[in-house]
Structure 1
Amino acid sequence: MNQISFTTANFVARQLGYRMSNGWGQGDAAAQAWFSPLDTFAARFDEMLGEVTALGFTAIDLWTAHLHFLWATPEHIAIARRLLAQRQLRVTSYAGSFGHTLPEFRAACRLCQDLHIPVLGGATALLGKDRAGLVATLREFGLVFGLENHPEKNPAELLARLGAGDADVIGVTLDTGWFGTQRFDAVEALRALAPRLKHIHLKDVKAPRPAKTGLPFADLGHETCRLGAGIVPVERFVKLLPSLGYRGAITLEHEPEDADPRADLQASLPLVQEWLRAGRQSAAPAGEPVRVAIVGCGNISGAYARDLASYPEVKIIGAQDLDPARAQAFVDQYSAGRVYATLDEVLADPAVDVVVNLTIHHAHVEVITRCLEAGKHVHSEKPIATRYADAQRLVDLATAKNLRLSAAPITWLGEAQQTAWKLVRDGLIGPPRIAYAEVNWGRIETWHPNPKPFYDVGPMFDVAVYPLTLLSAWFGPAQRVTAAGGLIHPHRVTKDGQPYSFTTPDWSCAIIEFAHGLRARVTANFYVSGHTRQHGLEVHGDQGMLALDSWAAFDSPIWFSRLEDGDRRTPVLPARVPTPGTEFGRGVIELAHAIRENRPHRAQGAHAAHVVEIIETVHQCLTDGQPRELSSTFPPAVPVDWAK
């Protein structure tokens, strides 16, 4: 799913009172003077981020003038990282000019690595001056450079400057506005440049004014405007992207020299979202969409609805919740069909192909059972059950009814996770022997309005299920479990001041032996926050190690270190442009594709049941510390097609 971002360069004229009469350099200098002092940086940077989120954006392109690699100290970068996290903003690219020397370019790359920015978009003299050094540096840091089409007038000139080869790390940041200024069709440019496309700056420009204005860009014929109000075919451009397979970010760019661009950008955002939806509809495989009903409209339901809205081959036709008002709010917000009064009403609707079960943990078995008995395919949030016997009964029922039972977590289907799995299968680190997974999930009561159900099932069932599902997808069934743990902090208080207690261990450490031969240590708790230095997943083999910073985020950094490398870590780019964060709806999408293609779905119920047995056995081991054998198995997990 494409991330739509806001470039902070849209504010280029802001420090000049939106009267930038001496060109881009004037705005750049004023912005750097405003943002570089460390004592005021936090307040000024946060104010800017707040204005971006107020416009409805969840991602930015960070312009170099707002955090320049030549003056940014570790303190600047730490502040920026903290504020971006607090605002829940991702940075899709670092935009600007990246110096004339290799040390300058390396400084820009270090800043990108520190802020988890995947793309540098703009210009660098090194492309012609020291291409080998540029390529080596990009690969060292695990980054991509996209050359912007300015001053190049057409795709042929741009491709000639890019040169052949190194397409994994060098490509194009396509600026639609500059092609408009050069009177070259941006849609034609997109078709020509699609194989090298790394990033998009979506910009519209007005027709040149008949008289000079005294504003350099306007007089050059590069006067930006609201999308759709100028001469660039931005609507056709965006609608074409899905059919070309472009999955990267789309940055909205509008940098008037004499006006505040915020209202225009806010109005442009829903236009781009609608154009993308229309493009996906046109590019969708032929056939009727798989029709789904959502059961349970709690916190996670919004993420599912947003994800599924990007896929025309899946259609939400209704929702049901024990609280009818919550179901109505869900349907209204996401244009999700009708409200069903009861689960029976959902199951009686012949239009429903798949029920997506998003109810609380303890309702899963009953809801899944009733859906299967009514003849509906099911995708369920994790866990499908809290007892292995119940989970296996669900699998058996689905088999007997010739129905599909799909289950979360599906994070092992993410781009970073699939890329890492392929590297392991391809022997990058030799035979894998040991894995470490850290699940430090913090204190649920600090953010969730109803934390008690999470504590009742415990961190193993609620969150360790993610890396356990990934590890068993990669390495097959487990056969033996040992565990230790206990109650760390059993008396807590909700956000509204209500005390509560629980008896399920809130800290657990499991040692899991896989039939494959791998041994994994999985630690999970509802106490240690994400600020810990222990996080993610590591796999250690005879020739080295491979790590994912996150077992859940599809765009997680990946890196490896071979024995001969010493302390050096080598980043790895995902084999496919990743979806930002976690696409929770991917399991439903994968199930829908499997139904349409008449093939087995990947997130199998039998796999989910095996993970339930692992966790149930962990809890049994916690009572006496004795190891236990596992009895269940499941068919091998299948990589996605592009990662085979």
Structure 2
Amino acid sequence: MSVPPARSLSIIGCGFVADLYMRSLEKHPDIAVTQVYDHDPERLAAFCAHWNLRAADSMERFLGNLPKGALVLNLTNPDAHYDITKTCLNAGFHVYCEKPLATEMDQAIELHELAKNEGLMLASAPCSVLGEAAQTLAKAVRDDVAGPIRLVYAELDDGFIPQAPYQDWKSVSGAPWPARDEFAVGCTLEHAGYYLTWLIAMFGSVRRVVAASTEALPDKPMMGTPDFATATLFFESGVTARLTCSIVASHDHRIRLFGDKGVLQVKQSWDNDAPVKYHRRMTLRRRLMEHPIGKRLRLNRETHPKVDRWGAAAMNFALGPAEMLDALNEGRSCRLSADFGLHLTEVTLAMQNAREEGIAQDMSTRCDAVVPMPWAQ
């Protein structure tokens, strides 16, 4: 793989999420943002003025300014992910794409094959799996803290979002929350990956998905997309998990891993510094229960830069791009590989597209285990 001369990246798309990336990149002063492009000139100007960045006035100029082997962050709207990523790969650039990688499986496969044939890295968000909370939980699983894991419950319920004052939500450079995209793409494609990545990293590929989804709120903006999905995931390793996504049920972002000796729990998927707790199982007065006060598990090494809470999240969105740059500089594969991204996309789309008829679908893709971050080994 060719490597650009500096530890740098360029950004396409400067909407709401791009500000979250810039807040995170501020915590990585060794990474330079060389240029930015957006098809909306006013949005591009506002974003670049706020962050003091160089703007490219066209897609052609943007691509022409880059050395072969540069890293591009595709932060465009979801319906543009496929076209923009394909264009960048064809031009010889590595790509880190916001979620979803693509909205159709055949598009995701095409991007995967293109990156493979061109010898380029391709990864997609979310990257919280590289964060401290996820890495601490994964180490607890490897260390057998709770014994063999038999079952996992994971929730990604965001509250009754259509009644939230989302019209007032703006990023620090003035971009509105992309309500149209959020409702049209749906909470499953937008959010299932936050825990799917953790689960796949810990337990390997999903062998089979049994799922159903529905539109519980037919009068919300952008009707027609499921706003509730639930799936039972059967992993090749033998672990079974239940994952639920909605914008209907009260906010609940817990993940619980039930083992022979007790329960591992994290309550906030969008917080890299969320406590990871172990509740040992015990018997009290002939009653079986988990200890109500969990023991917090910690890593004994310095981890990664933390980002202050903004809105509902305290996540470092730059962990994925930074790890890709490390991989490029070290001449190795990145942890969030194209195989990983493709498998994530297949599982997520199976949940999203299950509808009320439901599906029981064997997965056709797989990926290797994700290597722990150096500070979590």
Q: TM-score, normalised on structure 2?
A: 0.87
In 2, the alpha carbon distance for the partners of 1:350 and 1:456 equals: 33
| 1:568-579 matches, cutoff 5 A | 568=291, 569-575=293-299, 576=301, 579=306
In 1, the alpha carbon distance for the partners of 2:361 and 2:203 equals: 19
Which of 255, 272, 289 aligns to 1:537? It is: 255
Aligned CA distance change for structure 1 residues 619 and 307 (closer, same or farther; 3 Å): closer
Bigger relative contact order (CA 8 A; separation at least 6): 2
Q: How many aligned positions are there?
A: 347
What does residue 64 of structure 2 align with?
Answer: 348
Which of 454, 457, 467 aligns to 2:195? It is: 467
What does residue 523 of structure 1 align with?
Answer: 244
- Give the superposition deviation at 1:573: 4.1
Give 2:319's aligned amino acid.
R
- Give the superposition deviation at 1:593: 1.2
What does residue 484 of structure 1 align with?
Answer: 212
1:400-459: per-residue Cα shift (whole Å, max 9, x none)? 111111221110111111011101111111111111111112316632543121122211
Unmatched segments (≥5 aa) in structure 1: 1-286, 493-499
2:108 pairs with 1:391: yes
In 1, the alpha carbon distance for the partners of 2:80 and 2:26 equals: 26
SS for the counterpart of 2:126 is coil
Give 1:613's aligned amino acid.
E
- Give the superposition deviation at 1:528: 2.6
| 1:235-314 matches, cutoff 5 A | 289-314=6-31
In 1, the alpha carbon distance for the partners of 2:116 and 2:71 equals: 16
In 1, the alpha carbon distance for the partners of 2:105 and 2:30 equals: 33
2:180 pairs with 1:452: yes
- Give the superposition deviation at 1:623: 4.5
| 1:75-474 matches, cutoff 5 A | 289-336=6-53, 338-351=54-67, 353-442=70-159, 443=161, 446-447=165-166, 448=169, 449=176, 450-474=178-202
2:344 pairs with 1:616: no
1:353-382: per-residue Cα shift (whole Å, max 9, x none)? 111000111110100000000001111111
Q: Percent identity?
A: 31
Aligned CA distance change for structure 1 residues 343 and 529 (closer, same or farther; 3 Å): farther
Unmatched segments (≥5 aa) in structure 2: 170-175, 284-288, 308-313
In 1, the alpha carbon distance for the partners of 2:144 and 2:44 equals: 48
- Give the superposition deviation at 1:475: 0.7
Contact 1:438 1:524 in 2 (8 A): yes
Query: What is the CA RMSD across the aligned residues, in angstroms?
Result: 1.9
In 1, the alpha carbon distance for the partners of 2:226 and 2:326 equals: 39
- Give the superposition deviation at 1:501: 3.5
In 2, the alpha carbon distance for the partners of 1:620 and 1:384 equals: 16
In 2, the alpha carbon distance for the partners of 1:545 and 1:326 equals: 47
In 1, the alpha carbon distance for the partners of 2:118 and 2:158 equals: 38
Which of 499, 504, 518 aligns to 2:225? It is: 504
Q: Which structure's residues are more often helix, by fraction?
A: 1
- Give the superposition deviation at 1:384: 0.6
- Give the superposition deviation at 1:351: 4.2
Which of 284, 290, 312 aligns to 1:567? It is: 290
Which of 245, 256, 265 aligns to 1:547? It is: 265
Q: TM-score, normalised on structure 1?
A: 0.52
Task: Find the structure with the greater CA-based Rg.
Answer: 1
In 2, the alpha carbon distance for the partners of 1:465 and 1:332 equals: 32
What does residue 335 of structure 2 align with?
Answer: 602
In 1, the alpha carbon distance for the partners of 2:60 and 2:158 equals: 36
In 2, the alpha carbon distance for the partners of 1:391 and 1:501 equals: 24
SS for the counterpart of 1:368 is helix
Give 1:571's aligned amino acid.
K
In 2, the alpha carbon distance for the partners of 1:529 and 1:318 equals: 40
Contact 2:73 2:97 in 1 (8 A): yes
Contact 1:441 1:463 in 2 (8 A): no
Aligned CA distance change for structure 1 residues 406 and 620 (closer, same or farther; 3 Å): closer
In 2, the alpha carbon distance for the partners of 1:340 and 1:378 equals: 18
In 2, the alpha carbon distance for the partners of 1:473 and 1:630 equals: 16
- Give the superposition deviation at 1:620: 3.6
What does residue 360 of structure 2 align with?
Answer: 627
In 1, the alpha carbon distance for the partners of 2:183 and 2:373 equals: 34
SS for the counterpart of 2:27 is coil
What does residue 222 of structure 1 align with?
Answer: none
Contact 1:545 1:562 in 2 (8 A): yes
Contact 1:415 1:577 in 2 (8 A): no
Aligned CA distance change for structure 1 residues 501 and 394 (closer, same or farther; 3 Å): closer
In 2, the alpha carbon distance for the partners of 1:522 and 1:464 equals: 8
- Give the superposition deviation at 1:600: 1.3
- Give the superposition deviation at 1:545: 1.1
In 1, the alpha carbon distance for the partners of 2:198 and 2:109 equals: 20
In 1, the alpha carbon distance for the partners of 2:190 and 2:367 equals: 21
Give 1:563's aligned amino acid.
R
